[in-house]
Chain A
Amino acid sequence: MASFRKLFRLIGREPSPADDIAAEFEAHLELKVEALIREGLSPAEARREAEKSFGPKARFAAECGVIDRAERRERRWRESISGALQDLRQAVRALIRSPGFALTTILVLAAGIGLNATVFALLRGVVLRPLPFPHSDRLVAVHSSNPVSGWPEFSVSPPDFLDWSREAKTMSAMVAWNTDYVAATGSGPAEEVPIAAVTAGFLAVTGVAPTLGRSFNPGEFERGGPRVVLLSYGVWAGRFGRDPHVVGGRWTLDGESYEILGVMPSGFTFPIDRIGAWVPFRMPENVARQRGAHYLEVAGRLADAATLDRARAELVTLAARIEKDFPASSTGWTVLVRPLHEEVVRDARPTLLLLMTGVGLLLVLACVNVANLVLVRSIGRGGEVALRSALGAGRARLLWHGASEVLVLLAASALLALPIAALGTGLVRKFAPAGVPRIESVGIDPVAMLFTLGTTAIAALLVGLAPARRIARADVRQALAVGGSRSLGARRGSHRWIVALETAVALALLSVAGVLIKTRERLNVVDPGFDRSATLVADLSLPDKRYPTGDALSRFQDDLLGRLRALPGVESASLIFGLPLTDFGFSSSFTIDSVPVPDDVHQSAQLRLASAEYFNVQRIPVLQGRGFTAEDRRGGRRVALVSAAAARRFWPDGKVLGHWVRMSASPGDDSPSGEIVGIVGDVREERLDAPPRPIVYFSSDQTTVSYVTLALRVRGTPLALAPELRRIVTALDPELPLSRVRSMDDVVRAATASYGFRAWVMGFFALLAASLAGIGVYGVISHIVAQRSREMGLRRALGASDRQVVREVVGSGMRDAAVGAVAGLGLGWLITLKLGDLLFQVKPGDPVVLGIVAVLFLGITLLGCWLPARRAARNDPALVLRGE
């Protein structure tokens, strides 16, 4: 009898609580009536008496109703939970029974989700994260700007900075700085440390105080003030071993002793590079005369009520006033203001957005593949779905049942995706091109994990959508009929979508990777103007204290070059101030034959100092006249060389030699100057993907400078000579740090590293996509072929040739692929349109690239269609028909 009730429930025809209660009450009343009749009452009286002694029926019914309905609700809830759990357990068991399917889908999905999490962590850590300063959104970078002269973004001159910081009301504080490399000695081996000399606004702008010790006092910025230094956390940890008593100690930089004031907190860095220490910037003595000398970087903090636009407007107005007051030095100069965060991330952002697009598409592809696998798998179980539906399972229950496998798969994928993402970020930290800001702190944190979860949810939707739609529309009767499990098969329509979609994604990624790879190749074959092979370079910083005069510098440099030339491995040795492709920019306006330049004309070129053999070392040809020789000595007749670009630009009549140039950047008699004795070949010294800039070379003998780069042409491998080089330098001066010893190949590679990075990574994504898509298409076509095997067997039995069958399958598959290809190429083109600067000598719709890519992939697709079709055509039609 108990089972009767349960059977009712199973079939879903449980009586409503109200009916149940009414029946119960009625039964009671009947019994009472009968008893009263037995006592002698008439039926009508008995009924009246029974109802009376029962009491207010409606009220009791209502109370019971409330109780029963609550019970039912709870019971249904419990049952659905336990049913859902049961489905999950079943799903897990079913997946364990098909390990191939389970492992494949989990791996594919985990890879897709994990890659997305990696790129997201990158995007977040490098681009999206705010700068490590309080209220960092109020910080701005300020540049001088002279667009007419071709300097849209330039350094700032000290008098300009002083005027702005004094008068700008929209800025609560401004700071200027200059970065430099100094030789650090004492308490450790001689080492080169990047430092920043900052003005007094340092604390106010950054808003960060030292964790140990104190920041600068105003007196320490005066000329003649004490030499003090603030350490970065990294230097404190690395060089001073986290000594808590370091404050008050001393540190020798470039031969001068500095008192250590304090240590900045961990993670603090300003401006943004790996600055090791901060010292006060001392304004030069005759600062007012330096309005044309632009060498400071400037940042500011907006005042409380100010906006970026108002600050910009105010500074532009100030600059206009300065331009009016000082036409000689400031004509054409205005101001460019940008949020500091923007400044830091603008280079990295396009690359990361590109990567994000790539992994996003890959995930879609992975999900489509998995969705297809799940779909195929669910087709075989159509009968089970139908049975459950017949037994009363509601739509929701059926959906859950169908979805439970997908959910288990995705849960497992998400778990696996996290270590993959952690590995990915580790690899990126290790192999990312130099100069990516803030990359050290990129990692998988809670936000990245949340993102992973979100991606997983989206993936679940994408993967589960198709099977869910099938269930929602399942016709139960049809499914239970004979041959039902196959007839519940997905209509051909959804499979065609899959082929088209996979082709589209693969081609989009392939075309993007194609243009990036071509860009890389173009960069590789660009002639930089010098011969990068067999060249060893190293940077040398000669402290003023020990080499106070030009003569001292010259003597040392001659000595060094002489010893280096004597080495058997060295073909020629030279010095250069301003090695190409090292982010070195030192430009200066100049005069020709002392002819004053009108205020609104800008005549400037890159200034370089080179020793006599430099052009030999770098194999830069002398096009006219001569190069520097040993006769161009210090104190002798001053000479200069110009690059071909300079000759073309400033001497269009071709008469270059003999003119006298003077670089009027620094006032006073020691501006480099000389008679032009030759024209040398152009060098792309700023970047390979820009035309060469005009350069004026002076002899490094005649104009000495304390920071130079050694450039040696060697016999054999450049780096093999590095130990010898170090030995010789140390022998000459043990306290001289030699830094960045590398080959010219390394320099060029580093300069184009980000192009290579993009090409490699997107190439990898494209390869993955092509593989996934190829396998996916193969799988889909195989499935279609299997589904239609009866039909095809029949046709072949009726006389259709093998070739016809194959042709038909391949034809329909390729048609879908063609549609997808067009869409994919279109999508790829759209993406490459946004690439802009990331491309070099390649147009977004480059037909060669697109052509190669399309042919390649359609070839893969063809194979994916042809193989299963051929298999089908070889099956014995009799077997196929009988096998039904």
Chain B
Amino acid sequence: MGTSLELLQGTLDLLVLKALSWEPLHGYAVATWIRDHSDAEFLIEEGALYPALHRLERRGWVESEWGVSENNRRAKYYRLTSKGRAQLRSEVTMWERYVSAVGRVLKTAQR
């Protein structure tokens, strides 16, 4: 792999929301999911997920509760709320618009 990309804070939130959109996960699982689904392109300090998760919880997009993890240990699970789901949808839309706009500009510049 070449240089790993650094993530911006807003994008991290988006990825976390997406990660949680299938099922509740604990922090470690989210980290794993992002790594796996991005082919390890992103360089994240795993701990950076936690401020993001707490922030998302404060905004009401996710909610948390303590549960039992796969290795029978206590872990804090995060789940997407309906508000969070809506937020995810709108952010994805925004992202796609953003990407295509930037792409358009970049394509023309190549002339």
Q: List residues 41-80 of chain A with CB under 8 A from any CB of chain B.
A: 53-57, 60, 63-64, 67-68, 70-71
Known interface pairs A1-B67, A31-B28; A24-B46 also in contact (CB < 8 Å): no
B95 to chain A, nearest CB (A): 24
B69–A32 CB distance below 8 A:
no
A70–B46 CB distance below 8 A:
no
B76 to chain A, nearest CB (A): 5
Cβ-neighbour of B45 out of A20, A25, A53, A71 (below 8 A): A53
Distance of A2 Cα from B50 Cα, bound (Å):
20
Which residues of B are found within 8 Å of A68, using beta-carbon distances? Answer: 54
A67–B58 CB distance below 8 A:
yes
Known interface pairs A28-B27, A71-B57; A2-B65 also in contact (CB < 8 Å): yes
Distance of A797 Cα from B31 Cα, bound (Å):
81
A34–B50 CB distance below 8 A:
no
A54–B75 CB distance below 8 A:
no
A876 to chain B, nearest CB (A): 61
B65–A30 CB distance below 8 A:
no
Which residues of A are found within 8 Å of B22, using beta-carbon distances? Answer: none
The answer to whether A272 has its CB under 8 Å from any CB of chain B is: no
Which residues of A are found within 8 Å of B76, using beta-carbon distances? Answer: 20, 23-24, 27
Distance of A65 Cα from B98 Cα, bound (Å):
33
Distance of A671 Cα from B57 Cα, bound (Å):
104
A55–B45 CB distance below 8 A:
yes
B54–A64 CB distance below 8 A:
yes
Distance of A54 Cα from B71 Cα, bound (Å):
19
The answer to whether A21 has its CB under 8 Å from any CB of chain B is: yes
Distance of A299 Cα from B31 Cα, bound (Å):
91
B26-70 CB mask vs A (1 if < 8 Å, else 0) is 111001000000000000011110110011011000000111010
The answer to whether A5 has its CB under 8 Å from any CB of chain B is: yes
B96 to chain A, nearest CB (A): 29
The answer to whether B73 has its CB under 8 Å from any CB of chain A is: yes
A54–B45 CB distance below 8 A:
yes
A55–B69 CB distance below 8 A:
no
B51–A55 CB distance below 8 A:
no
A28–B26 CB distance below 8 A:
yes
Q: Which B residue's beta carbon lies closest to that of A64? A: B54
B72-86 CB mask vs A (1 if < 8 Å, else 0) is 011110000000000
Distance of A32 Cα from B29 Cα, bound (Å):
10
Distance of A5 Cα from B76 Cα, bound (Å):
12
A-B contact count (CB 8 A): 74
B65–A5 CB distance below 8 A:
yes
A188-218 CB mask vs B (1 if < 8 Å, else 0) is 0000000000000000000000000000000
Which residues of A are found within 8 Å of B74, using beta-carbon distances? Answer: 23, 27
Q: Which A residue's beta carbon lies closest to that of B48? A: A55
> How many residues from A make CB contacts under 8 Å with B?
27
Which residues of B are found within 8 Å of A55, using beta-carbon distances? Answer: 45-48
Known interface pairs A53-B45, A56-B45, A60-B47; A28-B55 also in contact (CB < 8 Å): no
A881 to chain B, nearest CB (A): 55
A25–B47 CB distance below 8 A:
yes
Which residues of A are found within 8 Å of B54, using beta-carbon distances? Answer: 63-64, 67-68
B86 to chain A, nearest CB (A): 21
B69–A27 CB distance below 8 A:
yes
B1 to chain A, nearest CB (A): 15
Which residues of A are found within 8 Å of B31, using beta-carbon distances? Answer: 28
Distance of A54 Cα from B51 Cα, bound (Å):
13
Q: List residues 270-289 of chain A with CB under 8 A from any CB of chain B.
A: none
A55 to chain B, nearest CB (A): 3
Q: Would you call the interface of chain A mostly helix, strand, loop, or mixed? A: helix
Distance of A4 Cα from B2 Cα, bound (Å):
47
B28–A32 CB distance below 8 A:
yes
Which residues of B are found within 8 Å of A28, using beta-carbon distances? Answer: 26-28, 31, 46-47, 50, 75
B83 to chain A, nearest CB (A): 15
Interface centre among B28, B57, B67, B74 (most CB of A within 10 A): B28
Q: Which A residue's beta carbon lies closest to that of B44? A: A55
Q: Which A residue's beta carbon lies closest to that of B76? A: A24
A25–B50 CB distance below 8 A:
yes
A71–B47 CB distance below 8 A:
no
B11-36 CB mask vs A (1 if < 8 Å, else 0) is 00000000000000011100100000
Cβ-neighbour of B58 out of A2, A4, A25, A71 (below 8 A): A71
Q: Which A residue's beta carbon lies closest to that of B31? A: A28
Distance of A55 Cα from B27 Cα, bound (Å):
14
Distance of A71 Cα from B58 Cα, bound (Å):
6
A64–B50 CB distance below 8 A:
yes
Distance of A345 Cα from B59 Cα, bound (Å):
64
B71–A60 CB distance below 8 A:
no
A27–B73 CB distance below 8 A:
yes
B11 to chain A, nearest CB (A): 17
A371 to chain B, nearest CB (A): 45
Distance of A31 Cα from B28 Cα, bound (Å):
7
Interface centre among A2, A24, A55, A71 (most CB of B within 10 A): A24
Which residues of B are found within 8 Å of A2, using beta-carbon distances? Answer: 65
B48–A24 CB distance below 8 A:
no
A21–B65 CB distance below 8 A:
no
Known interface pairs A23-B74, A27-B74, A28-B27; A57-B51 also in contact (CB < 8 Å): no
Q: Which A residue's beta carbon lies closest to that of B68? A: A1
Which residues of B are found within 8 Å of A5, using beta-carbon distances? Answer: 65-66
Which residues of A are found within 8 Å of B46, using beta-carbon distances? Answer: 28, 32, 53-55
Which residues of B are found within 8 Å of A21, using beta-carbon distances? Answer: 50
Which residues of B are found within 8 Å of A4, using beta-carbon distances? Answer: 66
B65–A54 CB distance below 8 A:
no
A570 to chain B, nearest CB (A): 96
Known interface pairs A1-B65, A5-B65, A27-B73; A67-B47 also in contact (CB < 8 Å): no
A47 to chain B, nearest CB (A): 14
Distance of A840 Cα from B76 Cα, bound (Å):
87
A27–B45 CB distance below 8 A:
no
A635 to chain B, nearest CB (A): 110
A1-36 CB mask vs B (1 if < 8 Å, else 0) is 110110000000000000011011101101110100
Cβ-neighbour of A60 out of B51, B57, B69 (below 8 A): B51
Which residues of B are found within 8 Å of A71, using beta-carbon distances? Answer: 57-58
Q: Which B residue's beta carbon lies closest to that of A21? A: B50
Interface centre among A27, A56, A70 (most CB of B within 10 A): A27
Which residues of A are found within 8 Å of B48, using beta-carbon distances? Answer: 55, 60
Interface centre among A20, A21, A28, A57 (most CB of B within 10 A): A28
Binding site for A on B (CB under 8 A): 26-28, 31, 45-48, 50-51, 54-55, 57-58, 65-67, 69, 71, 73-76
29 contacts between A and B (CB under 8 A): A4-B66, A20-B76, A21-B50, A23-B76, A24-B27, A25-B50, A27-B26, A27-B27, A27-B28, A28-B31, A28-B46, A30-B71, A30-B73, A31-B28, A31-B69, A31-B71, A53-B45, A53-B46, A56-B47, A57-B47, A60-B47, A60-B48, A63-B50, A63-B51, A64-B50, A67-B51, A67-B54, A67-B55, A70-B58
Binding site for B on A (CB under 8 A): 1-2, 4-5, 20-21, 23-25, 27-28, 30-32, 34, 53-57, 60, 63-64, 67-68, 70-71
Give 14 new A-B contacts, CB below 8 A, not counting A1-B65, A30-B73, A31-B69: A2-B65, A21-B50, A27-B73, A27-B74, A27-B75, A31-B71, A32-B28, A34-B71, A55-B45, A60-B48, A64-B54, A67-B51, A67-B54, A71-B57
For the complex of A and B, 10 pairs with smallest distance between CB atoms = A55-B45, A55-B47, A60-B47, A63-B51, A31-B28, A67-B54, A54-B47, A27-B75, A28-B28, A64-B54
